[in-house]
Amino acid sequence: MSKFSLLCIALLLFFSCGKTQTPNTNFEPKPEFSIVIHGGAGPIKKGNIPPEIEAKIEAKLEEAIKKGYDILKNGGTSLDAVQQTIMVLEDSPLFNAGKGAVFTNEETNEHDTSIMDGKTLNAGASSGTTIVKNPINLARAVMDNSPHVMLSGKGAETFAKEQGLQIVEPSYFYTERNFKELIWVKENENKNASKKTAYHNEKLKGSKFGTVGCVALDKDGNLAAGTSTGGMTNKRWGRIGDSPIIGSGTYANNNTCAISSTGWGEYFIRAQVAHDISALMDYKGLSLKQASKEVLAKVKTLGGDGGVIAIDKNGNMVFEFNTEGMFRASMNDKGKLIIGMYKE
């Protein structure tokens, strides 16, 4: 065999294996840590949101992400950063989670949440709680202090009490804005289709979105992801969306990435959004950006929409959404803060 042929073989072997070794075209050094958050995706268009609300949302996103950033900067774990960042968002009435959860058809507020540890693949989740002030703390407690991954309803509330988590009256979750939205959705969902305007349809569609989430990489190289939501306005029959479903709303694996989803939950479950992004990186060698785009394209094909935030094991951060907008923010280890709402 000629030297040339051997060279051919060597070159071809090199390139044929390239699929699983996507070259790093990002020559920035790997960040020591990084963090990304979202406050929901949906029909978020410039002009739809009054400037004073826009400013409040921006300020709260900044407050939340800085909470997690400080934890990571001080050598804290990605799990703690995710949990405490989400707590800030849950305590605000601005987002569809915790205090700001939307109303169900029965005029209650039911919370779904999950958290996952990329190091151990341990996870915790709960669905349908109505009195736990910070559902993300319940997800963490399920992961850390129970033999289970997912608890639900009254049973999950009993566990929350046993764990000493902060319990509130259901009325704590009342917000006038969300209650009015429920009334509007109930009145309008079944109106004659021909009478529906584009605005009407958009508003109805908006009632499906919300949710907050956070993903983080800590100084030890551990990834974590968490998600918390009140679900969709007017949800009924104990509906569970993607947010408390490991692999759909939340997934973290130190070998690949950490993901939190937000969008039309049913489609995110059917498309297995969070785990599919990880699998495309793991088995097909896609970058985090490529994998996120590909999976959201699948969601679109099925008929759904929404977005994801993600961090890979090298600290690369991704916002990706196929809605009009997504409330979002990121910070790297240099403290560089990016906040966004609309399409760029």
Count the neighbouring beta carbons within 10 Å of the beta carbon of residue 150: 18
Residue 227 CB neighbour total at 10 angstroms: 38
CA 202 to chain centre: 22
Least Å from the CB of residue 152 to a second copy: 4
Q: Which two tokens mark 155?
A: 């049973």
For 231-252, give one letter per residue: b (16+ CB within 10 A) or e. Answer: bbbbbeeebbbbbbbbbbbbbb
The answer to whether the CB of 124 falls within 8 A of the CB of 135 is: no
211 is catalytic: yes
Nearer to a second copy, 251 or 327 (CB): 251
Smallest gap from residue 259 Cβ to a second copy (A) = 12
Closest CA to 334 of 31, 20, 108: 31
Q: How far is 269 from 267, CA to CA, in rounded Å?
A: 5
Angle, nearest 10°, between helix axes 273-284 and 288-302? 130
Smallest distance from the beta carbon of 208 to a second copy, in angstroms?
9
Which CB sits closer to a second copy, 96 or 332?
Answer: 96
CB closer to a second copy, 41 vs 277: 277
77, 211, 250, 256: the active-site residue: 211
Nearer to a second copy, 83 or 256 (CB): 256
User: For residues 1 and 198, which CB has a smaller minimum distance to a second copy in the complex?
Assistant: 1
- Interface contacts to a second copy, rule CB under 8 A: 1-2, 4-5, 8-9, 12-13, 16-17, 121-123, 127-128, 146-156, 158-159, 235-241, 245-248, 251, 265-266, 269-272, 275-276, 279-280, 282-284, 302
Residue 153 — φ and ψ, nearest 5°? 55, -140
Task: Return the number of other C-beta atoms located less than 10 Å from residue 96's C-beta.
Answer: 28
Instruction: Please tell me the number of Cα atoms within 13 Å of 102 on its side-chain side.
Output: 26
Question: Minimum Å distance from CB 5 to a second copy?
Answer: 5
Residue 284: CB minimum distance to a second copy, A? 4
Whether 79 and 224 have beta carbons less than 8 Å apart is answered as: yes
Minimum distance from CB of 240 to a second copy (Å)?
4
Nearest distance in Å: CB 47, a second copy: 29
Those residues whose C-beta lies under 8 Å from the C-beta of residue 241, and which sit 6 or more positions away, are 112, 229, 231, 232, 235, 249, 265, 266, 268, 269
Residue 36 CB contacts under 8 Å (≥ 6 apart), including other chains: 214, 215, 216, 309, 310, 311, 317, 318, 319, 328, 329, 330
Enzyme catalytic residues: 211
